[in-house]
């Protein structure tokens, strides 16, 4: 069923942060930073993939994501919902079901045999495609998926994610310059605010995370290697 009446964006952000904290998808550790896929250190790490194992939370967040996209982009703006390999695939399926649209997924690279395809499922020239992922950091990884969609003759001007880091100012410009609008539910700032409200971590940890969020590049540069 397509959702139509839900909280405003501020309350959606707070509730999303609360749910991510509840299932322990949020990890803070300023003393022993995590190593990201980029190889850079970070005192924060989020695991949105855990959401698929919590049906009540998963269902609520997919309703939130669907209504956010429809409110921001329009109710009849899409013909197809594509998930990015691999984390975006289940979320794209859930959103496509709610929007009563076709679902496809995009490989990170051609599979190397058979049709050598990057798009799995039926995507046609002229279709308006919504790219769904679990999260975005600086937006760069979305561009390859968008280009693969456009190579079919379809269009892709929107991407929707559950979690947006919200700390790298170039993100929305990177996507915007590529003709893509970002839709999201919450950011690290929302999670930090809810973590403080709940007392979910000790004060030293929260303070350390806040320092990172205010200037992540400088924080990482000081701790590289």
pLDDT of residue 187: 98
Does 4 reside within a domain? no
Select from 57, 49, 56, 61 the least CA-distant residue to 85. Answer: 49
How do the residues of the chain divide into helix, strand and coil, expressed in percent and rounded to 5?
Answer: 45, 20, 35
Tally of structural domains, the chain = 1
Q: In which band, very low, low, confident or very high, does the pLDDT at 2 lie, cut at 50, 70 and 90?
A: low
3-state class of 128 per DSSP? strand
How many C-beta neighbours within 10 Å does residue 162 have?
A: 27
Q: Is residue 216 part of a domain?
A: yes
Q: Could you read off the pLDDT of 139-155 as tens digits, one per residue?
A: 888 999 999 999 999 99
Q: What is the pLDDT of residues 183-210, one digit of tens each?
A: 999 999 999 999 999 999 999 999 999 9
Distance CA 25, CA 119 (A): 29
pLDDT at 3: 62
Is 149 a domain residue? yes
Give the separation between CA 182 and CA 135, rounded to whole angstroms: 11
160-173 pLDDT tens trace: 999 999 999 899 99
Helices (H) and strands (E) in the chain, counts: 8, 10
% of the chain exceeding 90 in pLDDT:
85
Rounded CA-CA distance 156/83 in Å is 12
Token code pair at residue 95: 């959103």
pLDDT (0 to 100) of residue 117: 85
**Mean pLDDT of all residues in the chain?**
94
Residue span of the structural domain in which 165 resides: 9-223
> 48 pLDDT exceeds 80?
yes
Query: Is residue 44 in a domain?
Result: yes
Could you write out the DSSP letters of every residue in 161-205? EEEE----TTHHHHHHHTT-EEEEEE-HHHHHHHHHHHT-S-HHH
pLDDT tier, 61 (very low <50, low <70, confident <90, very high otherwise): very high
In a domain, 2, yes or no: no
The CATH number covering residue 133 comes to 3.40.50.2020
Residue at 147 is within a domain: yes
Is 92 within the bounds of a domain?
Answer: yes
Q: Is the dihedral of CA 96, 97, 100, 103 positive or negative?
A: positive
Residue 1 lies in a domain: no
Could you tell me the two tokens for 214? 């205010």
């Amino acid at each position: 069923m397509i959702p139509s009446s839900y909280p405003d964006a501020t309350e959606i952000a707070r509730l999303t942060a609360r749910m991510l904290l509840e299932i322990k998808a949020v990890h803070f550790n300023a003393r022993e930073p995590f190593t990201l896929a980029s190889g850079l250190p970070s005192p924060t790490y989020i695991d949105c993939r855990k959401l698929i194992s919590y049906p009540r939370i998963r269902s609520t967040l997919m309703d939130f994501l669907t209504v956010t996209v429809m409110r921001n982009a329009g109710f009849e703006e899409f013909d197809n919902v594509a998930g990015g390999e691999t984390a975006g695939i289940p979320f794209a399926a859930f959103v496509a079901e709610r929007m009563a649209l076709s679902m496809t997924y995009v490989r990170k690279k051609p599979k190397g045999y058979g049709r050598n395809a990057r798009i799995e499922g039926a995507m046609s020239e002229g279709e308006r495609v919504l790219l769904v992922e679990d999260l975005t950091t600086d937006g760069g990884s979305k561009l390859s998926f968008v280009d693969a969609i456009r190579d079919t003759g379809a269009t892709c001007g929107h991407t929707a994610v559950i979690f947006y880091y919200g700390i790298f100012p170039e993100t929305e410009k990177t996507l915007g310059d590529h003709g893509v609008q970002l839709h999201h539910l919450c950011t690290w700032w929302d999670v930090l605010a809810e973590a403080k409200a709940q007392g979910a971590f000790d004060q030293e940890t929260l303070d350390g995370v806040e320092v990172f969020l205010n200037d992540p590049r400088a924080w990482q540069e000081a701790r590289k290697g």
